[in-house]
Structure 1
């Protein structure tokens, strides 16, 4: 049995990833901070399809909670995490000239610092077992930038750079580290963005589906992706490459 942790796994892209990994045979740990009802529904959906899942609520931006809850789970169950999907993320958009310290700090804390806190917690187990997959959900905004998202772009761009360095650190232990960079995907985060206005900028002429992102994550988690590391795979309909 291999164990997969999906942060922010209760909705949107995280939900699709949780369900997809369960279909691949992983025991899925669904992380969330406060969306308990949504997380329970994801767990029930996985179990209805014959998969296995467990809820693991904690704030990914709080290093103490990461250690207590995630570290505690691994110690109590004498297990390590085989696949980590760092998906949890938030936006707090504003033009930089008007951006508050709070808007900057909360996005950096949730999107960037959590990558460090959560990945550090699971990394030793992967190194000892000489197998692991770390998959970081970044963004089109981290690749090309977007007005009003200096904080979000900074957080995602930092994780992309860190991915390259970590891949070089752990490659000899058969641990791969990659990014998946979605473009405009139909989720709660894009429900206020007009697909009609934006799809003309997308060669495939539509927004993507969360399941299309999940399928790429599933591939990177598989044995078939064993020779891919340090990469960022764009899922944006050809909008940027």
Structure 2
């Protein structure tokens, strides 16, 4: 079997716009304090056209509230590394069974008919508890948003790639998990931890199944990230458990996710990657 030649000097030089000409859908990008927003800014800065999915009613119901979608888009647009790249946004309630496939089609149309990168960042907040508190409705709600919709998004994305860009390099899927498999688990968020664990477990199977389409699939655990959901003494207690003496910030996992979308990460697939800054559990 012939060996691939080593990279040339030109290939070793870092491209300042490694995602120029590629397109991405980032779900759950409705707040400028969130991870989805940070990921979208990184992808845009690398030259990708980006479609931001949002579900404002969800964030409006949370203590942190929602941002205006136009403000989120403008913030991502400021990060553009390529003046020809596109940034657009649209809503979607991914708890609806038909919404994932519709979102993939809408995003692809908005980005010129092509979709290279899928970052499934959305999740359901609230409506959870310890084992004694969860009920069927809680479990079903988290399943629908945190897991079912993600698998349906990946399915629709893979079908689009199979039709429009079979075996075209650059196909990327990034899922998001949490710390449910690390020491201590998530005993007070049984429904959320269960569904996020399902995504981590599915990562290798999805990666194997999509390899023939030149799509890599990886899953990122961002660890505790300061997205304005915790304050006061509880915030300080978490902060003290980081060796660096600070919380993770949205751009910390965003740098990893953006790198996974580039050609430099083309040989990485089927992995669950912790990006926790050494957090001591």
* Richer in helix (by share): 1
For the Cα contact (< 8 Å) 1:135–1:180, is it kept in 2? yes
Aligned pair 1:133/2:172, yes or no? yes
Work out whether residues 135 and 179 of structure 1, in 8 Å CA contact, stay in contact via their aligned partners in 2. Answer: yes
Aligned to 1:39: 69
d(CA) in 2 for partners of 1:199, 1:72: 40
TM-score by length of 1: 0.90
Structure 1 residue runs without a partner (length 5+)? none
Q: Superposed, which structure 2 residues align to 1:106-125 within 5 Å? A: 106-125=141-160
Residue 124 of structure 2 is matched in structure 1 by 90
Q: Which runs of 5+ in 2 are unaligned?
A: 1-20, 60-65
Q: How does 1:38-117 map to 2 (within 5 A)?
A: 38-50=68-80, 52-74=86-108, 79-92=113-126, 93-117=128-152
Aligned to 1:182: 222
The CA distance in 2 between the partners of 1:178 and 1:235, in whole Å, is: 13
Q: Is the 8 A contact 1:143 1:157 kept in 2?
A: no
2:262 matched to 1:222? yes
Contact 1:21 1:218 (8 Å CA) reproduced: yes
1:105 to partner: Cα distance:
1.7
CA distance in 1, matches of 2:46, 2:36: 15
Shift of 1:52: 2.6
Q: 1:111 to 1:192 in 2, by over 3 A?
A: farther
Compared CA separation, residues 66 and 135, structure 1 to 2 (3 A): same
How many aligned residue pairs are there?
241
Deviation track 1:111-153 (CA, whole Å, cap 9, x = no partner) reads 1111112111111233443231000111123544212111111
Whole-angstrom distance in 1 between the partners of 2:102 and 2:172: 22
Q: Structure 1's 153 and 180: CA in aligned 2 closer, same or farther, altered over 3 A?
A: same
Bigger Rg over Cα = 2
Q: Tell me which residue corresponds to 2:194.
A: 154
